[in-house]
Copies of this chain bind each other. A is one copy, B any other.
Amino acid sequence: MRPSGRAPDQLREIALEVAVSRYAEGSCLAKFGQTHVLCTASVETGVPGWLKGQGKGWVTGEYGMLPRATHTRGRREAAQGKQSGRTQEIQRLIGRSLRSVVDLKLLGDRTITIDCDVIQADGGTRTAAITGAWVALSKACAYLVEEKVLKASPITGQVAAVSCGVFENAPVLDLDYAEDSNADVDANFILAGDGRMIEIQATGEHRPFSDDEFAALMRLAKLGCAHLFEAQLKAAG
């Protein structure tokens, strides 16, 4: 029995609200239950120095969490003077995942930065961030096409992400904090729209895991992402 009463293969209530920012070229407030991540896509001219002259654009992600997004207040990273290893790991993951579905040549001399800021956290912030980031990115690209800055959208496919885990010996989909903090195995799956995988991160938190367990988690992830892909299309519409 899951703390939330959900079935093992049941996502939390998912909402992908768009146009939530007055200024960003694309934006999406991704809600996976009580986990709320505000994703904004900002288009800027120019690319990072090391990419100059290659005729390619860049897509990158930044991640942050409001200090009181969590049960107990965390320290503000800006005040501490550095981003934690966890933050940097998630930022790298977001950027890598999104770039796998963008034709950077088509994007041209532009950088799109997706800021994913966690307003409230209840487990699965990185997967909600990636799922919402794709919508924000997609909206920003549509805007560039609409404004005739680009002839065609450089987006080549969908990306969505969901967490799975082994909780009380049962494989379950989309862990909330109560599950996440007690799961034996914790995995994040980032999938492409065709069902193939873009990134897998699986960790045996308290014990190693078997092939069968892993296979069960992967099945759940595919199931979950199928729903997320639908929600994304509806939102990005």
Contact = CB atoms under 8 A, between A and B. Distances in A.
B85 A89 contact: yes
Contacts of A138: none
A146 interface: no
Contact of A199 (B40, B64, B96, B202): B202
A79 B69 CA distance: 19
For the complex formed by this chain, how many copies does it contain in all? 6
Residue of A42, A69, A78, A201 with most partner-chain B CB within 10 A: A78
A143 interface: no
A71 B43 CA distance: 11
B120 A21 contact: yes
Most chain B beta carbons < 10 A, residue from A66, A86, A120: A66
Contact of A62 (B79, B83, B96): B79
Contact of A82 (B38, B62, B67, B81): B81
Contacts of A200: 187, 200-202, 214
